[in-house]
Structure formats: structure tokens, C-alpha cells
């Protein structure tokens, strides 16, 4: 068999295999674009809050300074669902959250409310949470309009940029000291291609939009039509081959007729 013909045959069969997977991907993309993720996760069917308010017994078990701090919440006190003692590198603190885990108050062990983290505290937390504790390049307090890489992140937050080959950005919640997000050069490359994959060029995370649905349908039609053409062409070749064999048999019988 000639190299050109061999290459063509290999190309055809590889194309068939790849087309099947492309069709599967296209069908998956179409389904992702029409199925809302909150419905998939069952979040639309939640009938009650994530947790119940603290019972009187649970409140009585808290240290006196914390119980006193609860009284300063006013009407919000009845919605307290979680009280946590935690140390994020700035000393032990009590975090008081409502039944939806929204922070209501942050106090020290004496029950005194703690202010927003300072720039120095945020830098300390970021360096403590990164291997090797590299130096800080720059720190910025973000109160509105967060960058794309911190979309939907809680505010206010400190953006702490560290001196490192990976160009890490650590976002520190300015109210709690929690690391809200970790970003680096590899993450940004991934996020760019994720944007191309979801075709959400603004929010970057949504699968449920018309543009993706439309292109998924076009991709399905392209893959399906390509497979159809492959099958039709293969069937046509088989038909021609059988016809030629039949003609050859007839010719052979005629040539071998009575002498």
C-alpha cells in the first residue's frame, strides 16, 4: 500500500475515534449549559437553614465574656448559630456567626470586640500560611471592585503579594484573618483557559448561558454530521466494492462459457 493511501486510511480511522469523543464532549457541554448547578446539587430543595440557633443550654456552656458579648448583638443575638474559638496566627479569638455562617462579631478571650485586621497583621497571616515565609512585595486593601482572580470573594480583604517565582497572591479576610483565596501564575493560566472552556468571558464561572448552549448545539451537529458522512461514505464504498465483485464474477462466468 502506498504511503499516501496508508496515511489517509489512518487519518480516517483516527478521525472516527476522535469524533466519537468530540460528540460526547459536545453533548456533555450542552447538558452542563442547561442544567443549573444549584439544582444539580439539590440546593433549591433545602427547606431549612444550614444550622439551628444556639439553644439556651449551649449558650450557658460558653465562657462568661462570650455570653456578655452576645448581648451586644441586639436583635441579631437570636440568630446566633455558631460560636468558634480559633487562632489564625494572631492569638485566640471567638468568632460568632449566624445560622447562615455569616460573621456577626469577633471578640478576644475577654469578650472585647476586635477591629479589622491591620496591614501588618494581614501580611503576618499570609507569610505564615505560605511555605518558606517569603518577603512581602505589596499589600492592598480591597473594599470594592475586586480583581477578576478574586471574583465573588468576601470583602473587605487584603491582597498580599509575595516575593516568589510563582507570583503568589494571598487574599486575607480583613475581618477574620482567614485566607479567603490563593492565586498564583499557574492558577491564572488555568483560569484563562477555563474562561475559554466555559465561554463566560465576564464572570468566567457560569456554564448556564446562551452562548455556550448555542455552540454546544453547533458542535453536536458538526460531530454528528461528520460521523454520518463517514458512515455513508463507508457504506457507499462497501456497495461499490460488492458491485465490482459481482461484475467481476459475471465477467469470469462469461469468459469461462462453452468453447
User: At residue 259, does pLDDT exceed 60?
Assistant: no
Rounded Cα distance between 66 and 73, Å, is 11
Q: What is the pLDDT of residues 26-71, one digit of tens each?
A: 898 889 888 888 888 888 887 776 788 999 999 999 999 999 999 9
User: At residue 257, does pLDDT exceed 70?
Assistant: no
Does residue 100 contact residue 50 with C-beta atoms inside 8 Å? yes
User: At residue 127, does pLDDT exceed 60?
Assistant: yes
Q: What is the mean pLDDT of residues 134-149?
A: 96
pLDDT band at 137 (very low <50, low <70, confident <90, very high): very high
Give residue for cell 437570636.
78
Phi first, then psi, for residue 230 (nearest 5°) are -65, -45
Please tell me which residue, 122 or 225, carries the higher pLDDT value: 122
pTM of the model: 0.78
Query: What sign does the dihedral 232-238-244-247 (CA atoms) show?
Result: negative
Q: What is the pLDDT of residues 70-108, one digit of tens each?
A: 999 998 899 999 999 999 999 999 999 999 899 999 999
Q: What is the pLDDT of residues 191-243, one digit of tens each?
A: 999 998 888 888 888 888 888 888 888 888 888 888 888 888 888 888 887 88
pLDDT of residue 256: 63
Q: Specify which residues 226 forms β-bridges with.
A: none
Please tell me which residue, 157 or 14, carries the higher pLDDT value: 157
Rounded Cα distance between 102 and 28, Å, is 35
DSSP, collapsed to helix, strand or coil, labels residue 55 as coil
Measured torsion, CA atoms of residues 113, 119, 121, 126, in degrees rounded to the nearest 10: 130
Strand 169-173 and strand 157-162: the pairing is antiparallel
As a whole number, the mean pLDDT across the chain is: 89
Report the share of the chain in percent with pLDDT over 90.
Answer: 52
Q: What is the pLDDT of residues 241-250, one digit of tens each?
A: 788 887 777 7
Rounded Cα distance between 63 and 33, Å, is 50
pLDDT of residue 1: 64
Rounded Cα distance between 192 and 198, Å, is 10
Amino acid at each position: 500500500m502506498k504511503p499516501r493511501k496508508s496515511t489517509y486510511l489512518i487519518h480516517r480511522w483516527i478521525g472516527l475515534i476522535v469524533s466519537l469523543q468530540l460528540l460526547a464532549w459536545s453533548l456533555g457541554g450542552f447538558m452542563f449549559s442547561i442544567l443549573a448547578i444549584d439544582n444539580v446539587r439539590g440546593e433549591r430543595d433545602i427547606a431549612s437553614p444550614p444550622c439551628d440557633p444556639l439553644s439556651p443550654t449551649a449558650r450557658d456552656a460558653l465562657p462568661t465574656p462570650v455570653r456578655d458579648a452576645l448581648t451586644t448583638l441586639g436583635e441579631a443575638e437570636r440568630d446566633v448559630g455558631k460560636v468558634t474559638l480559633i487562632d489564625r496566627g494572631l492569638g485566640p479569638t471567638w468568632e460568632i456567626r449566624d445560622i447562615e455562617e455569616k460573621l456577626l462579631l469577633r471578640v478576644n478571650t475577654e469578650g472585647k470586640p476586635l477591629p479589622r485586621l491591620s496591614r501588618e497583621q494581614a501580611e503576618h497571616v499570609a507569610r505564615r500560611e505560605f511555605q518558606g515565609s517569603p518577603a512581602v512585595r505589596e499589600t492592598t486593601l480591597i473594599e470594592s471592585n475586586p480583581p477578576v482572580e478574586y471574583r465573588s470573594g468576601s470583602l473587605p480583604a487584603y491582597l498580599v503579594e509575595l516575593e516568589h517565582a510563582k507570583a503568589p497572591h494571598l487574599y486575607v479576610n480583613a475581618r477574620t484573618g482567614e485566607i479567603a483565596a490563593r492565586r498564583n501564575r499557574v492558577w491564572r493560566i488555568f483560569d484563562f483557559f477555563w474562561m475559554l472552556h466555559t465561554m463566560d468571558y465576564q464572570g468566567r464561572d457560569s456554564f448556564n448561558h446562551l452562548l455556550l448552549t448555542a455552540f454546544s448545539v453547533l458542535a453536536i451537529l458538526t460531530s454528528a454530521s461528520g460521523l454520518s458522512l463517514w458512515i455513508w461514505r463507508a457504506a457507499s464504498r462497501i456497495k461499490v466494492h460488492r458491485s465490482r465483485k459481482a461484475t467481476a464474477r459475471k465477467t469470469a462466468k462469461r469468459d469461462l462459457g462453452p468453447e
